[in-house]
Structure 1
Amino acid sequence: MQKTVNGGSMGGLKIVGVHGIKQGSDATTAGLSASWQATIDETLAAAPESGAGAVITVPSYQAVFPRTPTRYVRLGGSETGFLSEGRAIDEEEEAFILQALAAYAPSTVEDESPEAGLTLGDGHLTPRIVRRVQAVDRKIGKGVTGRLLWFVREAHAYLRKEETAVAVRAAVAEALADTGAHMVIAHSLGSVVVYDMLSRGEAPGVTMLVTCGSPLGWLAGRKGIHSGGERLTVPVGVKWANLYASKDFVTGCVGLSQLAPGVTDIEVNNGTFPPAHDVHRYLDKPALVELIAKAGTA
């Protein structure tokens, strides 16, 4: 294994990582970069024959993201106070949430009886959302939907709030410019951010994209960066590999290749949800070593 400086490999391929939601209030660029780097170093050390080395920078965009209860809660953490501090759900966001959760349970399986004033945890939800939550819980497991709702609300904040999206993309673009990286590893909502940037021509130097735990295959919010029902487009000159876990509900438990011809899907075993969505369970896979090695010789 290569010697390290400040927790990262000395020399090696430059990579920019783009994180997902709920990183914690102390998740600075330095902290996120060191955390991802440590896992990648261990993964590369387990396959010394690959000769791969990498230095990853993960820019934190938490400072520009709207304050919501989800902002300071890690995925799979306590549900105490769920939505209780957050903004009220308006009609537009309600429609977004219902459309997103329809990927797991269509409206036809809902109990349509009136249920005004119901809550999930400590947070008030609209009756329609409550019915959809109950339908999803019946189909894929009680409690899963609460964690998905955290994700869906922050995805909505990115896709529907232009000032937020611009600031997030700017943070990633700055890291790409500073590092000169041609490879990006994007996790969860980060894959939406990077796809948005590539579609806008805001990441011209990127030639290798690795998405992990991506919701692009089902997220209703693709409407904000992509016309619903159309195929995703792999940008010219970009090789795109997508790691997904069959029990990672954020991905819809499927890959992207059917919706995005040209994407190479790689199924991995990350255990059960919510840990299955954890970024480090994607970063520790041998498949990533092969992708880093290929990018380093390209």
Structure 2
Amino acid sequence: MSVNMLQIVGVHSIRQGSSATTAELSRKWQASVDDALADSGHAATAGPIRLTVPSYQGVYPKTATRYMRLGPGSADAAEDAPVGEEEEEFILQALAAYAPSAVAEEDDSPMGAQTLGEGRLTPRILRRARAVDRVAGRGVTDRLLWLVREAHGYLRHEETGAAVRAEVRAALAATGARMVIAHSLGSVVFYDMLSRGEVPSRADGSPAAVSLITCGSPLSWLAVRNGVHTAGAPLSVPAGVEWTNLYAPYDPVNRRGGLSHLAVGVTDIEVDNGKLNAHDVHRYLDKPAVTERVAKARYF
């Protein structure tokens, strides 16, 4: 008797280069999961899988900033684009949500913004970034700012968000995927899709994808406050969707913690990704928690 291919869709983080095509992303994610399955002993239970990671770098706008190098020709973009008032407020709120105690630590002196990085970030942003570094660790905001500026592009520009979601939805519809693995800001994208009812559904109206793994997610501090979710209400996914969230203690994007304190029905699993490059998607994909859920998804 033939075994059906288990279809999985991956939702990548937004920080991708022009070479990150669907074929290349899918190949790399598939290789990581295949290797992990082979090492785990779950390969026979999981059976054949196909992992598709739709690339949306082609629909995401190029922005001239050292924190966002996306799309063909982005290397030829101008130097850092200046931050406007609306984006400045978005960044300030996001950094405050990431490290609330840092706000009281800000240095308001004229020299307080002159020791962080280059580019056209505003003095207010630089002061807050410096304060976050004092609270969260040196260099943390240098890694967060690209995420926050790219999140602004998704969360505050409806045409961009709609185009990104359309690419993911097309992959879900084409593959009939029963499982989704969403990394970093990709978890915000997919959560947004679930909240909007934009995920393909079964005949009974429930989502066709019944297993969700989020990895290195900023949902606890970014999406709740910036348009994806209603502030003050718990995060949740539709009934029938098993949600597992992987977080690494040294991953700065997930704020070194999980989502269970803010979410209903999520299973948090702490994983060891080491101290260097702890946010890397492939360090999450090789974990036993992923292979166990891939094997389980076969029988959902």
**Do the structures match in fold with TM over 0.5?**
yes
Inter-CA distance 49–28: structure 2 relative to 1 (3 Å threshold): closer
Please list every run of 5 or more consecutive structure 2 residues that lacks an aligned counterpart in the other structure.
202-207
Find the counterpart in structure 2 of residue 6 from structure 1: none
Letter in 2 for 1:224: G
1:274-293 superposed matches below 5 A: 275-293=277-295
TM-score, with structure 2 as normaliser: 0.87
Inter-CA distance 96–35: structure 2 relative to 1 (3 Å threshold): same
Inter-CA distance 117–284: structure 2 relative to 1 (3 Å threshold): closer
Find the counterpart in structure 1 of residue 108 from structure 2: 112
Contact 2:8-2:177 at 8 Å conserved across structures: yes
Find the counterpart in structure 2 of residue 164 from structure 1: 160
% same residue: 60
Decide which of 125, 132, 152 is 2:121's aligned counterpart.
125
Decide which of 182, 188, 192 is 1:186's aligned counterpart.
182
Q: How many residues align?
A: 280
Letter in 1 for 2:235: L
Inter-CA distance 229–136: structure 2 relative to 1 (3 Å threshold): same
Find the counterpart in structure 1 of residue 21 from structure 2: 28
Q: Distance in 2 between matches of 1:84 and 1:138?
A: 31
Contact 2:113-2:124 at 8 Å conserved across structures: no
Where 1:215 maps in the other structure, the secondary structure is coil
Inter-CA distance 117–251: structure 2 relative to 1 (3 Å threshold): closer
Contact 2:107-2:131 at 8 Å conserved across structures: yes
Letter in 1 for 2:86: E
Find the counterpart in structure 2 of residue 4 from structure 1: none
Q: Distance in 1 between matches of 2:223 and 2:105?
A: 19
Decide which of 63, 87, 109 is 1:93's aligned counterpart.
87
Q: Distance in 2 between matches of 1:234 and 1:177?
A: 19
- Deviation per CA, 1:122-160: give whole Å up to 9, x if none: 312111111111112222332221111000100111000
State the shift of 1:11 in Å.
Answer: 5.7
1:246 equivalent to 2:249? Answer: yes
Find the counterpart in structure 2 of residue 60 from structure 1: 55
Please list every run of 5 or more consecutive structure 1 residues that lacks an aligned counterpart in the other structure.
1-9, 74-80
Find the counterpart in structure 2 of residue 134 from structure 1: 130
Q: What's the C-alpha RMSD, in Å, of the aligned pairs?
A: 2.1
Q: Distance in 2 between matches of 1:138 and 1:108?
A: 11
Find runs of 4+ consecutive structure 1 residues off by over 6 angstroms: none
Q: Distance in 1 between matches of 2:133 and 2:126?
A: 10
